[in-house]
Structure 1
Amino acid sequence: MHAVQSPLATASPAAGAAAPARHTAVLAITCLALATVVAAMSSLNVALPAIARETHADQSQLSWIIDAYSLVFAALLLPAGALGDRFGRRRALLAGLTVFGAGSALAMTTTSPDALIAVRALLGVGAALVMPATLATITSTFPRERRAGAVSVWAAVAGASAVVGVLISGSLLQEWSWRSVFLLNVVLAGLAVAGVVARVPESAEPQQPPLDVLGALLVATGLGVLVYSIIEAPQHGWTSPATLGGAGLGLLVLIGFVAWELRTGHPLLDPRLFRNRRFAAGTASIALQFFAFFGFLFVLMQYLQLVRGDSALTAAVSMLPMAATLVPGSRLSPLLGARLGVRRPWVAGLVLAATGLGLFSRVDGDTPYWQLAGILVVLGAGLGLAMPPATTAITDALPATQQAVGSAMNDLARELGGALGIAVLGSILTAGYRSHLTLPDLPAQAADAARSSLGAAAAMGGPVLDHARTAFVAGLQEALLGGAATLLLAAVAVALLLRRRSSER
């Protein structure tokens, strides 16, 4: 297979002198497109209390409003990445950004939680076309000696965009309704489209094998059933036949996907790639990092607004200490890796991030903000150190002809980890909240409404809200302990997979 050469690869000597500037423009535009779709995963978290009040969404529906986007995003990443490789990554960027912008405009007109869930799923379709095309464009445009630096910028943007999206959304919510968050999506998508049209070259591999349609259907179905079962578990019970049967069916379909991928001549994702230790370590680490990160953001925004009573803007600004260390940590990580070997800063970052979540699991409604800020600094520094080596391990583990596969796998690990993190940690939070909430003197109908979400309890005020806040904190502590354990698991996995000295070369 031979990739179609971009104008950058065939430029004249004079144009070649301008290559660094062109590379910078391509990096800036692709990172804007990346930030647009990544921020959409987190930016709506700050609006959840307002959405719950206006649409009367319960806690499960709030999880779906966030996760419908992430789940469709993850399920379609591999086939969407393959389409971008075949027909052109620039075309994929333009198509995906158009769908994303149009869907965001439609979301501004919704009035019910179910409609909002459906539109968020549509946004996931657009995002699936955009994200793999961003990293594939960077790796196909930049020369190898500059690729690690460009990928570190990409990883920093991917991590920081979640925090920046929350901050901008909080600012918008200070003056306007939650629909302004979707207006932001429309504006960012429009700017990214203009940049892609003006400066991003086309790159493609038209000699691609036939698309693995059955594999795409199997992975989408398996992930959908699994995540649905996890999100609905607090409603049905974690040990109920519906939960266990649904989770078992989802896992069975995913096992069938792996079996099919091993048999077919043109797999969507070849499971044999995981024999490469660096590839396996990078994939596992990225998935588990974003599992903890996006699950944390989902529960944190509700804690700050509904337990501490912060405004949307104050809650968003409260996240700045994490961004202040995440971005520098992402830039420092490649330098430490070059000096100490990739394994040490990578594992240290994961342990540091796990420590941050473990400390956060001890907070309550009266914890002073300076303590929260200190914990966020620790968490951001850990994630900043751990994200770039994981992404670089995936892309560097594969030859140039398989960079698209590496890009898609990196994106899939991020989105799947994020979707599962929101589902699992959100469900742990919901189950803990309901189990710790006791309202013996409240009529059954009012008690059921209070148990549906903290937002509903907040509308009742008084003693009900006090009990609900205490119960929510108990559920939050359990959820964040689960997130900390996940990051420690990632640290152990990376340490074991890269234990050979040759792995650091």
Structure 2
Amino acid sequence: MPEPSPASSASPPSDPAPAPPRVPEAVHRRRWAVLGVLMLSLLIVVLDNSILNVAVKTIATPAPTGLGATQSELEWAINSYTLVFAGLLFASGLLGDRLGRKRSLLFGLAVFGLGSALAAFSGSPGELIAYRAVMGLGAAFVMPATLAVLMNVFERDEQPKAIGIWAGSVGLAIAIGPITGGVLLEHFWWGSIFLVNVPVVLLGLALMAWLVPESRDPAPGRIDLVGVLLSVLGLVLLVYGIIRGGERASFTEPGVLLPVLGGLAVLTAFVLYEKRSDHPALDVSYFRKPVFSAAVAAIALVFFALMGVTFFSAFYLQSVRGYSALDSGLLLLPLALAQMVFAPRARLAVERFGARAVCATGMAAVALGLAAFAFFDADTPVWVMALVFLVQGAGMAHIMPPVTVAIMQTLPREKAGSGSAVNNTFRQVGGALGVAVLGSVLSSVYRGEIESHLGVLPPAVRATAGESLEATLAVAEKLHVDALVAPAQQAFLDAMHVTAYASAAVAAVGAVVVAAFLPGRAPAPGLPPQPTPDPTEAAEPAHR
């Protein structure tokens, strides 16, 4: 009697292969066009956050050139977007699963476009802060819906490739944001950086209405209103505390500590409530799976490290090296190009070497790139900086697609919105923590270094001048104290070196995490191995 077991054991994933396609044929035929629309939506949301960073100096200029915004108002023009975006990501993902992901995308894009138009014509810093919050509301509905739609228009075997392309578009946005901002500011007024979103949004809405199919959870059950409210409150408190900690360069002040601890307490209550709920907004049992937990931890850690270094690299390039906003944006092209080239091909490396080796190597490359900043000075050759950005981009390209696949393929297809929301929430919180914590390290070291040089200034302005490199240079220029410029730049370089080592250490921790918990070589092409059968296939007949 022939033995069937060797054949079956040689290719275990072949059993579910004959299953009929889960994506309708009409949708399957236009899946790549749908992906293009999703990338356009994602591009505009990510691009806008990076484009504002190059315009802060212009917006700080008094009217009519800018709005005359103070440093604190500039920070909140950025942070109001982040606070609303991060706070609502999880809730918007749940609503997309329940009400329809296409509706979520259309609503989010429309709100984002409206907020952009209003922000472009803001008459005061307060108005700009409010309209940026409106943009954050729209972006919160767009970001998770793009990935959720992707998971519902591609069959499982093509999802890693599609996710790689999706992740590569993020790299494109990171690069063209500063470049676009630099070009617009050289030829138009500051509001053009927001107004440029409007025609792109209108194009995206038209293409989305035409091409993107509607999808939702067919059996969502009762809405977990308590869980949704707890998640929003907890995330808003936590992110607000993190932002305030970064602003104050201290995490021990009551105004920082109370919201952080309050946010953690509410999120703990959220987890405990979800564990006991018979209709949870988030099935926390997924976090018991090492692959899922390691993947979300990797996302948080890599964005913690990367957003921190992005924060201080902008000051290094413009205030120490003297590059314009446009030149600084162009220097980021190697990072974007590396992501665009390697992210769609990361699945091939996973097929050959496994998610564990690929992601650990990618994390190590990011850590190496971050550590390289510790050796940068005022005369580092441009080609060296370009090479470092290239290494960082290549590392990111081999992290984001595999860990995103691991997260999204752990959850059932009908829960794609909440899975995408978890993915993006950890990314946003990790990035906000990176800017706040590493920004605090940078600020503390800089203040300690520059303090001994401030004796040449009048006592009344010393405290203000010691807050940051920008503040020191502004006071030195106003009072014509040229002798303070070189010490200020050197103090910043010393602070940047310390912060670079801290960033690299966080990325190294991420490498250890993924090396310990992500799976090894995939048994089937393009799919990281899962310790349990795919819930969207093997477990689906058992849905309650």
Normalization by structure 2: what TM-score?
0.84
| Alignment of 1:138 onto 2:147 | no
| Alignment of 1:39 onto 2:47 | yes
Change (3 A) 1:121 1:471: farther
Asked whether the equivalents of residues 244 and 255 of structure 2 are also in contact (C-alpha less than 8 Å), the reply is: no
Deviation at residue 84 of structure 1 after TM alignment: 1.4
Matching residue within 440, 458, 465 for 2:473:
458
Residue in 2 that maps onto 1:4:
none
Deviation at residue 345 of structure 1 after TM alignment: 1.0
State the distance in 2 between where 1:106 and 1:416 align: 27
Matching residue within 303, 307, 315 for 1:302:
315
Deviation at residue 112 of structure 1 after TM alignment: 4.2
Give, as a single letter, the amino acid of the residue that structure 1 aligns with 2:354.
G
State the distance in 1 between where 2:74 and 2:437 align: 13
State the distance in 2 between where 1:425 and 1:224 align: 20
Residue in 1 that maps onto 2:324:
311
Asked whether the equivalents of residues 352 and 521 of structure 2 are also in contact (C-alpha less than 8 Å), the reply is: no
Which one is further off, 271-280 or 103-112? 103-112
Structure 1 gap ranges (5+)? 1-7
Deviation at residue 495 of structure 1 after TM alignment: 1.2
State the distance in 2 between where 1:500 and 1:146 align: 20
Change (3 A) 1:191 1:454: farther
Partner of 2:196, secondary structure, is: helix
| Alignment of 1:443 onto 2:458 | yes
Residue in 1 that maps onto 2:237:
225
Give, as a single letter, the amino acid of the residue that structure 2 aligns with 1:26.
V
Give, as a single letter, the amino acid of the residue that structure 2 aligns with 1:66.
I
Deviation at residue 499 of structure 1 after TM alignment: 6.0
The aligned runs of 1:105-504 (5 Å cut-off) are 105-205=117-217, 207-233=219-245, 235=248, 237-438=250-451, 439-460=454-475, 461=477, 462-498=482-518
Which one is further off, 37-46 or 313-322? 37-46
State the distance in 2 between where 1:300 and 1:57 align: 22
Asked whether the equivalents of residues 178 and 325 of structure 2 are also in contact (C-alpha less than 8 Å), the reply is: no
The aligned runs of 1:81-92 (5 Å cut-off) are 81-92=93-104
Partner of 2:295, secondary structure, is: helix
Deviation at residue 214 of structure 1 after TM alignment: 2.8
Change (3 A) 1:140 1:163: same
Change (3 A) 1:45 1:183: same
Give, as a single letter, the amino acid of the residue that structure 2 aligns with 1:103.
G
Residue in 1 that maps onto 2:32:
24
State the distance in 1 between where 2:332 and 2:522 align: 39
Give, as a single letter, the amino acid of the residue that structure 2 aligns with 1:42.
S
Which one is further off, 269-278 or 459-468? 459-468
* Residue deviations 1:123-148 (CA, integer Å, cap 9, x gap): 11101111111111111111222222
Change (3 A) 1:400 1:10: closer
Deviation at residue 206 of structure 1 after TM alignment: 5.0
State the distance in 1 between where 2:194 and 2:75 align: 18
Change (3 A) 1:429 1:217: farther
Give, as a single letter, the amino acid of the residue that structure 1 aligns with 2:171.
G
* Residue deviations 1:290-326 (CA, integer Å, cap 9, x gap): 2222332222222211221111111110111112222
Which one is further off, 244-253 or 93-102? 244-253
Asked whether the equivalents of residues 229 and 242 of structure 1 are also in contact (C-alpha less than 8 Å), the reply is: yes
State the distance in 2 between where 1:380 and 1:134 align: 22
Residue in 1 that maps onto 2:92:
80
Asked whether the equivalents of residues 68 and 121 of structure 1 are also in contact (C-alpha less than 8 Å), the reply is: yes
Asked whether the equivalents of residues 111 and 137 of structure 2 are also in contact (C-alpha less than 8 Å), the reply is: yes
State the distance in 2 between where 1:445 and 1:265 align: 62
Change (3 A) 1:133 1:241: closer
Asked whether the equivalents of residues 283 and 394 of structure 1 are also in contact (C-alpha less than 8 Å), the reply is: yes
State the distance in 2 between where 1:248 and 1:343 align: 34
Structure 2 gap ranges (5+)? 1-21, 530-544
Residue in 2 that maps onto 1:3:
none
Question: For this pair of structures, how many residues does the alignment match?
Answer: 492
Asked whether the equivalents of residues 175 and 330 of structure 2 are also in contact (C-alpha less than 8 Å), the reply is: no
Of structures 1 and 2, the larger Rg is shown by 2
Which one is further off, 262-271 or 127-136? 262-271
Normalization by structure 1: what TM-score?
0.90
State the distance in 2 between where 1:222 and 1:463 align: 48
Asked whether the equivalents of residues 49 and 305 of structure 1 are also in contact (C-alpha less than 8 Å), the reply is: no
State the distance in 2 between where 1:153 and 1:240 align: 43
Give, as a single letter, the amino acid of the residue that structure 2 aligns with 1:485.
A
% identical aligned pairs: 42
Give, as a single letter, the amino acid of the residue that structure 1 aligns with 2:172.
A
Give, as a single letter, the amino acid of the residue that structure 1 aligns with 2:98.
R
Deviation at residue 61 of structure 1 after TM alignment: 4.4
Asked whether the equivalents of residues 236 and 243 of structure 1 are also in contact (C-alpha less than 8 Å), the reply is: no
Change (3 A) 1:402 1:224: closer
